[in-house]
C-alpha cells in the first residue's frame, strides 16, 4: 500500500475498511451519493488526500477523504497476471532483424480496466501489436536497459555498441533496430556511427513522438520503416528512421551523425542537417528509395570501437558568458571541449585568451556553430583568426552534438592530444563534408 | 398513436457546444469556418488486433476498413494540438466553470478531483484516436411538469472534427479540424422518459438551463441530442444527432413504431412456422441472366466486371416490403446493413420487383433459378464479387436477427424524423487516463463563489420578459417552449424592433415555415437579426418577414440585403407610397366621385396589390384615406 501514492489518511481509511487498491468497492458519500468502482493507485501528482475510483462508466474520479462516509468491498481484486500477447505469427520472411530495447515509449499498450500502460518488447508481442512485421522480417528482441533518453550517458553508448557487436557476431541478422527515446536519439545514433565502423548491415534507431498507448501513435509506422530499412538498405550505417512529415505516409532515413531533433513534439521532429536524408521509406508498399549514392557499404568484417570518454563537454557560447566557466572544465580534468559558437565560429573576444590557455594546458577545443546549418570558417573575421591562432579546432559543417560525441569517442580511443586531433579531423562516418549544397537548407524546401 | 400502447423507456443525452474564448485544450478560437482550408495532412489510426478483437465491434470495424483520414486545417484557428502534433494544454477553466455552474443549477454533486480521460474513438473524427472527456458531476435532477428527471452525469469534453466528405474509392474520409477541441457539456438523464412529448420537454428544459448560462453557442449543430429508446420487449437503440427540438418527439415516435413493427415481424415469422435454420446463406451467381438487362445499376456493375448475386430468403415474401417507419421498409434495414458492411450502393429485394429497370421476365427467371416457393423472397445485389458477397452476408445476418425482434444498434436521425442504421452498438467505452493533463481539484471556495454567480431560473426570465416587453400569455408561453427565449431579448435589444414582432417571428413564423417544408434550421441568428433590424428601420414591412426568411433558408449564403432587393421587398418610403396612391386615384377619379368615402375599399385593394410586403398596411390605409378625402374635397 505504501507505493499506492496515497497520503497516510487515505491509506488508513482503506485499511480500516479492509479494502485495497484494485478492489471493486461501493463508496457512500456524506451527501447521499453512492459511487461504485475500482480503487486505483494515485497518479504521481494531484491531491494525495483524494481516493481515485474508476467508475463503471469508465471515468476516473477523485473523492476527498472528508466526503466519504463508508467504503464497502464488493469484489476483491483478482490480481491479473500481465497477459502475454500471443502472436498470430505466420511469417515467411527470411531476413532476420534484431531489436534492441533501451527504453522510451516506443512500445507500450493500455489495460483499459485500470488505465495502466504496459511496455512490451518480446518478438511475439511486436508481431501481435504490429502485424505488418510478419511480412518483413523474422524478429528477435531483447531489452538491454530501460531508461529515459535524457538519462543516457556515454557509458550506455558503449553498452549499445558492445551489444551490436555481439548480435552481429552471434545472430547474424540483416540489420539491427535500436528502440530509443527521441530526446537524445541523435547523440546515441552518432555514437554508434563512430563506434561501429564496419558492419554487415544497417543499425537503425527509431522511436515515437506520440506515445504508443494511443491509436494515433507514430510508433508502429516508425518501427515498420525501421525494420524495412534494417532488411533492405544497401548501407551499413547508423541511421535514424522517423516520420518525414506530419503525414502518416513517408518515413525518412537520416544519417545518425547528421540528424537533429528540431521540434519538441512534432512527429517529423528529426531533420537531416547539411545533407539530404539517405533514403525514404514507404511503409505501405514496403519500399525503400535511396536519395544518395554515397554511403558506407556492408562489410563482412565487424569493426567496433565501443569506448567513450566522459571527460568531454559541449558548451554553448552566449553574449554575456563568463570566461571562468571554461576553466572549470580544465580544473575538473576534462580532455576536450566543444564550443557552440556564433555564426562562422566566434565567441566574445575576451574569451579567446582563456581558450588559448586551455589548449596550452593540453585540452582539445573544438568550434562548432550554433547556426547548425553551414560550415565553420574562422578566416573571415579577426575573432576567428585569433581563435585559430589560439589553437581552436574548427568542426567544419559537423553538428555541435556530433562534434561532442565524436570528441568523446576520440578520447575513448586515445589520450594523446596529437593523436586525438588527428582522429578528430578524420572523416569517419560522413559526419562532415566540404561542400554545402543549396538543397541542404530549409530555405530551399519550404517555398516550392 | 396506436403504436404507443407498449411501454417505452427513453433517456436523453445532450451535447451543448460552449462559446468560450478558446478551445478546451489549446488557445485556438472556437469558430466554425466556411472558407476553404489552408492546409491538409494525411493520417491513419491503429489499434492492436488483440485489443479490439474481443472488445468493441464498432472499433474493430473502423480498423478493418483500413481507412485513411485527410484532415483540413486553418493557419489561424488550428494549431499543433488539434493536429496531434503537440500535447494538450491545461484544461480551459472558462469552460470548466460553465460546466460547474450547470451542475449547481441541477443540484448535482461535483467531483472533488476531476480526471481527464481518453475515450477511444477510431473513426478518425479525433486526430488522436480518442476523445478527451471528464466527469464533472453526478446525481442531479430537474423538474419537468411536476416529474423529477434524474441527471445522471455531467461531463465536459472536446468536440470532434467535422466530417466533410468521404472518397470511397480512395478509402479516405475528410475531416475539418475547426470544430475539434471546442468544449461541449454533455448532460445525460436517467431512462425515465415515457412519451415522445415528454422527451421533447425534457430536452427543451435542459437546453433552456444551458442557454441561461450564457457562453453557449446557438444555432444549427451547436446542440445535439442523442436518444436512448427501447419499447417493452424491444431493445435499447441509441439514436444519434437529433439537431432540433421539434424533431425529438417525431424521432421517438418513429423509433417506437419501428421497434413495434420489428416485433410484429418476429411474431409473423413464428406464425409462418419459420426459424433461423430455414434461412441459408447460399448466394447464387445470377450474372448471366442480366446480360441484356435494362437496369442501369445492373448494367454498370456488370460492365465493370462485377457480378449479380442473389440470396433466397425462405418464407419472407411480403416481409421485406413491410413498412416499419414512414417510407422505410424492412428491406431498407437490410440495405442499410449492406451499405455499411460492404459499402455497396444498395440492394434490390423481391417485394419491390419488378421495378428499377429490372423486368418481370428477369424476376421470373430468378424465381426459377433460386427455386422460389410461393412464400419465398430474395435479395439481389450487383457489385464486385467480394463486395457483393459481403453485402449478402450482412443481409443474411440482419435477417437472422429478425427472429429475435429488435437488434441493439446505434442509429442516426434523418431530417424527416426517421432513423437509419449507423453502426453496431459500441462495446463498453474504453477509457484510460489522459496522462498529459494533471487532475484538477475543485475547491469548496470555488463552488461557493460560483453559487453566487448563477443565472436566474428560466421561469423567472420568462416572467421578467413578459412583464418588461408586454408579451401576451400565449406568446410568452410559446417563446418559453421554443429554443429562443434568450435570443429573443438579445434581438429586441440589438435591433430595436417591436417585441411582439420578434416573438412572433421566433415562434409562429419559424414553426409555420418549417411545417411548409422550409429548412429553417440553416438560418443563422445573424440572418434573423438583420431581418428584424430592417423591419425596425422601416426598410422592410413586417408582413414580408416570412418571405424573406424562406428565401434565406433556400440560399443561406446570400445576404439579407440581397434577398430583400431581389424580392423587391425593399420598403417603400412614405413619399413613394403617396406618389403611387396619387397616381391610382387620378386614374380612378370617376369611381371616387361616384362612391365618395366608400371608394376606400376598392382603392385600398388596388394599392395593396402593388405594395404588399413593402410597407405596413396600416400606413397604407392612412394614406389612402387621406388622399381620398383630399380628392373629394378638391
**Span B266-317, pLDDT tens digits:** 999 999 999 999 999 999 999 999 988 999 999 999 999 999 999 999 999 9
For A231, A246, A339, the CA distances from B23, given in Å and listed in that order, are 45, 22, 43
In the structure grid, which three cell numbers stand for residue B240, read together? 444519434
Please give the average per-residue pLDDT across B534-550, as a whole number.
85
Domains delineated in chain A: 8-75 (2.30.30.520), 95-304 (3.40.50.1170), 312-425 (3.40.50.40)
Burial of A371 (0-12, 13-18, 19+ CB in 10 A): middle
For A59, A182, A411, B105, B431, the CA distances from B154, given in Å and listed in that order, are 12, 39, 63, 12, 17
For A148, B276, B348, the CA distances from B321, given in Å and listed in that order, are 64, 20, 11
> Which residues from A are below 8 Å from B438, CB to CB?
45-46
Provide the β-strand partners of residue B187. Answer: B14, B154
Residue A240: partners with Cβ closer than 8 Å, 6 or more residues away: A185, A186, A189, A204, A205, A206, A253, A254, A255, A256, A259, A270
**Span B414-425, pLDDT tens digits:** 989 999 999 887
Split at pLDDT 50, 70, 90, the class of B2 is very low
Nearest to B112 among A57, A63, A112 (CB): A63
> Which residues from A are below 8 Å from B71, CB to CB?
none
Give residue B55's pLDDT: 46
Please give the average per-residue pLDDT across B471-498, as a whole number.
89
Please give the average per-residue pLDDT across B203-230, as a whole number.
92
For A403, B127, B424, the CA distances from B53, given in Å and listed in that order, are 49, 22, 14
Query: Are B80 and A266 a contacting pair at CB < 8 A?
Result: yes
Strand pairing class (A116-119; B348-349): unpaired
Query: Are A46 and B438 a contacting pair at CB < 8 A?
Result: yes
Residue A240 sits at the vertex; the CA angle it makes with A239 and A243, to the nearest 5 degrees, is 145
Give residue B52's pLDDT: 44
Nearest to A131 among B49, B130, B439 (CB): B49
SS (H, E, C) B97-125: HHHHHHHHHCCCEECCEECEEEEECCCCC
Tell me how far apart the alpha carbons of residues B310 and B283 are, in angstroms, rounded to a whole number: 5
Nearest to B41 among A110, A112, A247 (CB): A247
Split at pLDDT 50, 70, 90, the class of B58 is low
Query: Are B130 and A215 a contacting pair at CB < 8 A?
Result: yes
In the structure grid, which three cell numbers stand for residue A294, read together? 554515397
- Contact assessment for residue B125 and residue B163, using Cβ atoms and an 8 Å cutoff: yes
Give residue B501's pLDDT: 92
Query: Are A47 and B441 a contacting pair at CB < 8 A?
Result: yes
Tell me how far apart the alpha carbons of residues A119 and A129 are, in angstroms, rounded to a whole number: 12
Q: Mutate one of A41, A59, A65, A108 to test the B interface: name it (highest B CB count within 10 A).
A: A59
Range in A268-277, B66-75, B109-118, B587-596 with the lowest mean pLDDT: B587-596
Residue B86 sits at the vertex; the CA angle it makes with B83 and B89, to the nearest 5 degrees, is 110
- Contact assessment for residue A365 and residue A359, using Cβ atoms and an 8 Å cutoff: yes
Q: SS3 breakdown of chain B: % helix, strand, coil, rounded to 5?
A: 45, 20, 35
Nearest to A33 among B46, B55, B109 (CB): B109
Query: Are A58 and B117 a contacting pair at CB < 8 A?
Result: yes
Tell me how far apart the alpha carbons of residues B80 and A152 are, in angstroms, rounded to a whole number: 29
Global ipTM:
0.92
Query: What is the share, in percent, of chain B residues with pLDDT greater than 70?
Result: 95
> Which residues from A are below 8 Å from B43, CB to CB?
216, 247-248
The b/e string for A147-179 (b: 16+ C-beta within 10 A; e otherwise) is: eebeebebebbbbbbebbbebbeeeebbbbbbb
Give residue B196's pLDDT: 94
Q: Mutate one of B113, B124, B172, B228 to test the A interface: name it (highest A CB count within 10 A).
A: B113
User: Of residues B338 and B221, which shows the higher confidence score?
Assistant: B338
Split at pLDDT 50, 70, 90, the class of B50 is very low
Say whether pLDDT at B1 is over 60.
no
Tell me how far apart the alpha carbons of residues B176 and B126 are, in angstroms, rounded to a whole number: 10
Give residue B47's pLDDT: 72
Give residue B53's pLDDT: 40
Residue B590: partners with Cβ closer than 8 Å, 6 or more residues away: none
The b/e string for A184-204 (b: 16+ C-beta within 10 A; e otherwise) is: bbbbbbbbbbbbbbebbbbbb
Averaged pLDDT in 10-residue chunks for chain A of 448 residues? 77 92 92 91 79 92 93 83 58 86 75 70 80 90 89 96 97 96 96 98 96 89 97 97 96 98 97 96 95 94 97 97 94 97 96 96 97 96 95 97 98 96 97 95 76
| Terminal C-alpha separation, chain B | 67
- Contact assessment for residue B399 and residue B393, using Cβ atoms and an 8 Å cutoff: no
Tell me how far apart the alpha carbons of residues A421 and A429 are, in angstroms, rounded to a whole number: 16
Which residue in B30, B40, B27 sits closest to B88, CA to CA? B27
Tell me how far apart the alpha carbons of residues A308 and A303 are, in angstroms, rounded to a whole number: 15
> Which residues from A are below 8 Å from B430, CB to CB?
58, 112
Q: The whole model's pTM is what?
A: 0.86
Which residue in A175, A169, A172, A281 sits closest to A230, CA to CA? A175
Give residue B383's pLDDT: 94
Closest residue in B to A63 (Cα) is B112
Query: Are A214 and B127 a contacting pair at CB < 8 A?
Result: no
Residues of A catalogued as catalytic: 105, 182-183, 261
Give residue B419's pLDDT: 94
Say whether pLDDT at B59 is over 70.
no
E strand or H helix at B589, and its extent? helix B589-595
Q: What is the DSSP letter of B88?
A: P
User: Of residues A429 and B171, which shows the higher confidence score?
Assistant: A429
Say whether pLDDT at B576 is over 90.
no
In the structure grid, which three cell numbers stand for residue B138, read together? 453526478
**Span B424-460, pLDDT tens digits:** 877 666 788 998 999 999 999 999 999 999 999 988 9
User: Of residues B73 and A108, which shows the higher confidence score?
Assistant: B73
Listing DSSP states for B425-493 in one string gives: PP-S--EEE-TTS--EE--HHHHHHHHTTPPPPHHHHHHHHHHHHT--HHHHHHHHTSS-HHHHHHHHH
Nearest to B112 among A50, A109, A128 (CB): A50
Tell me how far apart the alpha carbons of residues B436 and A434 are, in angstroms, rounded to a whole number: 44
Please give the average per-residue pLDDT across B27-40, as a whole number.
95
Side-chain half-sphere exposure of B558, counting CA atoms within 13 A: 17
Query: Are A50 and B113 a contacting pair at CB < 8 A?
Result: yes
> Which residues from B are below 8 Å from A119, CB to CB?
none
Amino acid at each position: 500500500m505504501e507505493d499506492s501514492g496515497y497520503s497516510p489518511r487515505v491509506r488508513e481509511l482503506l485499511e480500516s475498511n479492509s479494502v485495497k487498491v484494485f478492489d471493486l468497492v461501493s463508496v457512500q458519500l456524506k451527501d447521499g451519493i453512492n459511487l461504485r468502482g475500482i480503487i486505483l493507485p494515485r497518479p504521481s501528482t494531484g491531491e494525495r488526500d483524494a481516493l481515485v475510483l474508476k467508475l463503471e462508466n469508465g471515468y476516473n474520479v477523485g473523492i476527498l477523504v472528508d466526503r466519504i462516509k463508508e467504503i464497502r468491498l464488493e469484489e476483491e481484486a483478482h490480481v491479473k497476471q500481465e497477459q502475454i500477447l500471443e502472436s498470430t505469427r505466420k511469417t515467411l520472411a527470411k531476413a532476420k532483424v534484431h531489436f534492441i530495447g533501451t527504453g522510451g515509449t516506443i512500445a507500450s499498450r493500455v489495460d483499459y480496466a485500470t488505465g495502466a500502460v504496459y511496455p512490451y518488447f518480446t518478438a511475439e508481442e511486436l508481431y501481435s501489436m504490429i502485424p505488418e512485421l510478419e511480412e518483413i522480417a523474422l524478429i528477435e528482441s531483447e531489452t538491454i536497459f530501460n531508461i529515459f533518453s535524457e538519462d543516457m550517458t556515454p557509458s550506455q553508448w558503449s553498452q549499445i555498441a558492445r551489444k551490436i557487436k555481439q548480435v552481429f557476431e552471434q545472430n547474424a541478422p540483416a540489420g539491427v533496430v535500436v528502440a530509443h527515446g527521441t530526446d537524445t536519439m541523435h547523440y546515441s545514433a552518432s555514437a554508434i556511427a563512430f563506434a561501429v565502423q564496419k558492419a554487415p548491415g544497417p543499425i537503425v534507431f527509431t522511436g515515437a513522438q506520440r506515445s504508443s498507448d494511443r491509436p494515433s501513435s507514430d510508433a508502429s509506422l516508425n518501427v515498420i520503416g525501421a525494420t524495412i530499412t534494417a532488411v533492405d538498405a544497401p548501407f551499413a550505417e547508423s541511421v535514424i528512421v522517423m516520420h518525414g512529415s506530419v503525414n502518416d505516409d513517408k518515413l525518412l532515413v537520416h544519417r545518425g551523425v547528421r540528424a537533429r531533433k528540431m521540434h519538441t513534439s512534432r512527429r517529423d521532429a528529426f531533420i537531416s542537417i547539411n545533407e539530404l536524408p539517405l533514403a525514404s521509406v514507404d511503409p505501405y508498399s514496403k519500399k525503400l528509395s535511396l536519395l544518395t549514392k554515397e554511403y558506407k557499404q556492408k562489410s563482412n568484417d565487424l569493426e567496433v570501437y565501443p569506448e567513450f570518454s566522459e571527460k568531454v563537454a559541449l558548451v554553448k557560447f552566449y553574449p554575456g558568458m563568463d570566461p571562468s566557466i571554461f576553466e572549470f572544465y580544465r580544473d575538473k580534468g576534462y580532455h576536450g571541449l566543444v564550443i557552440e559558437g556564433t555564426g562562422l565560429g566566434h565567441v566574445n573576444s575576451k574569451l579567446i585568451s582563456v581558450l588559448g590557455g586551455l589548449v596550452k594546458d593540453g585540452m582539445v577545443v573544438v568550434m562548432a556553430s550554433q547556426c547548425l546549418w553551414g560550415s565553420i570558417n574562422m578566416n573571415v573575421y579577426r575573432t576567428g583568426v585569433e581563435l585559430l591562432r589560439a589553437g581552436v579546432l574548427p568542426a567544419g559543417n559537423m553538428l555541435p552534438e556530433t562534434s561532442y560525441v565524436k570528441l568523446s569517442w576520440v578520447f575513448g580511443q586515445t589520450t594523446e592530444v596529437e593523436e586525438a586531433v588527428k582522429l578528430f579531423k578524420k572523416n569517419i562516418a560522413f559526419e562532415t563534408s566540404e561542400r554545402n549544397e543549396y538543397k541542404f537548407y530549409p530555405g530551399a524546401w519550404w517555398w516550392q | 398513436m396506436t403504436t404507443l400502447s407498449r411501454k417505452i423507456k427513453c433517456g436523453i443525452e445532450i451535447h451543448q457546444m460552449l462559446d468560450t474564448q478558446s478551445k478546451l485544450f489549446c488557445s485556438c478560437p472556437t469558430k466554425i469556418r466556411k472558407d476553404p482550408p489552408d492546409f491538409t495532412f494525411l493520417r491513419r489510426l491503429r489499434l492492436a488486433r488483440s485489443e479490439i478483437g474481443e472488445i468493441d465491434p464498432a472499433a474493430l470495424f473502423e480498423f478493418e476498413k483500413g481507412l485513411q483520414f485527410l484532415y483540413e486545417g486553418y493557419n489561424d484557428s488550428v494549431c499543433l494540438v488539434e493536429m496531434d502534433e503537440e500535447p494538450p494544454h491545461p484544461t480551459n477553466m472558462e469552460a470548466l466553470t460553465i460546466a460547474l455552474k450547470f451542475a449547481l443549477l441541477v443540484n448535482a454533486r461535483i467531483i472533488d478531483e476531476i480526471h481527464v480521460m481518453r475515450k477511444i474513438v477510431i473513426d478518425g473524427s479525433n486526430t488522436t484516436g480518442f476523445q478527451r472527456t471528464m466527469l464533472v458531476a453526478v446525481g442531479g435532477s430537474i423538474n419537468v411538469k411536476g416529474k423529477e428527471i434524474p441527471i445522471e452525469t455531467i461531463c465536459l469534453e472536446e468536440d470532434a472534427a467535422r466530417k466533410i466528405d468521404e472518397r470511397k474509392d480512395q478509402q479516405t474520409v475528410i475531416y475539418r479540424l475547426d470544430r475539434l477541441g471546442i468544449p461541449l457539456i454533455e448532460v445525460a438523464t436517467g431512462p425515465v422518459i415515457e412519451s415522445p412529448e415528454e422527451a421533447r420537454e425534457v430536452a427543451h428544459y435542459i437546453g433552456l438551463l444551458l442557454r441561461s448560462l450564457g457562453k453557449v453557442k446557438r444555432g444549427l449543430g451547436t446542440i445535439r441530442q442523442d436518444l436512448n429508446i427501447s419499447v417493452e420487449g424491444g431493445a435499447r437503440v441509441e439514436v444519434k444527432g437529433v439537431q432540433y427540438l421539434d424533431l425529438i418527439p417525431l424521432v421517438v415516435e418513429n423509433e417506437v413504431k419501428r421497434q413495434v413493427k420489428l416485433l410484429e415481424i418476429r411474431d409473423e415469422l413464428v406464425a409462418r412456422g419459420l426459424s433461423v435454420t430455414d434461412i441459408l446463406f447460399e448466394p447464387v451467381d445470377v450474372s448471366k441472366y442480366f446480360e441484356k438487362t435494362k437496369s442501369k445499376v445492373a448494367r454498370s456493375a456488370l460492365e465493370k466486371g462485377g457480378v449479380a448475386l442473389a440470396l433466397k430468403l425462405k418464407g419472407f415474401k411480403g416481409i421485406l416490403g413491410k413498412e416499419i417507419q414512414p417510407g422505410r421498409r424492412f428491406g431498407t434495414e437490410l440495405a442499410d446493413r449492406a451499405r455499411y458492411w460492404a459499402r455497396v450502393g444498395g440492394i434490390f429485394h423481391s417485394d419491390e420487383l419488378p421495378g428499377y429497370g429490372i423486368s418481370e421476365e428477369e424476376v421470373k427467371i430468378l424465381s426459377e433459378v433460386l427455386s422460389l416457393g410461393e412464400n419465398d423472397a430474395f435479395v439481389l445485389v450487383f457489385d464486385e464479387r467480394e463486395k457483393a458477397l459481403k453485402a449478402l452476408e450482412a443481409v443474411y445476418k440482419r435477417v437472422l436477427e429478425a427472429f429475435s425482434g429488435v437488434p441493439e444498434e446505434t442509429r442516426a436521425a434523418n431530417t424527416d424524423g426517421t432513423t437509419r442504421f449507423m453502426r453496431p452498438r459500441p462495446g463498453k467505452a474504453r477509457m484510460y487516463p489522459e496522462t498529459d493533463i494533471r487532475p484538477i481539484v475543485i475547491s469548496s471556495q470555488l463552488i461557493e463563489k460560483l453559487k453566487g454567480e448563477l443565472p436566474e431560473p428560466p421561469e423567472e426570465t420568462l416572467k421578467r420578459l413578459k412583464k418588461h416587453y408586454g408579451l401576451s400569455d400565449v406568446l410568452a408561453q410559446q417563446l418559453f417552449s421554443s429554443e429562443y427565449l434568450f435570443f429573443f431579448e438579445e434581438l429586441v435589444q440589438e435591433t430595436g424592433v417591436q417585441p411582439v414582432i420578434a416573438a412572433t417571428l421566433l415562434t409562429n413564423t419559424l414553426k409555420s415555415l418549417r411545417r411548409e417544408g422550409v429548412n429553417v434550421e440553416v438560418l443563422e441568428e445573424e440572418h434573423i437579426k438583420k431581418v428584424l433590424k430592417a423591419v425596425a428601420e422601416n426598410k422592410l414591412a413586417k408582413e414580408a418577414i416570412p418571405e424573406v426568411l424562406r428565401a434565406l433558408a433556400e440560399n443561406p449564403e446570400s445576404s439579407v440585403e440581397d434577398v430583400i432587393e431581389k424580392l423587391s421587398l425593399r420598403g417603400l418610403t412614405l413619399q413613394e407610397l403617396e406618389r403611387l396612391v396619387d397616381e391610382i386615384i387620378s386614374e380612378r377619379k370617376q369611381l371616387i366621385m361616384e362612391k365618395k368615402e366608400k371608394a376606400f375599399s376598392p382603392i385600398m385593394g388596388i394599392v395593396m396589390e402593388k405594395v404588399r410586403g413593402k410597407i405596413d398596411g396600416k400606413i397604407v390605409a392612412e394614406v389612402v384615406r387621406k388622399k381620398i378625402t383630399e380628392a373629394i374635397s378638391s
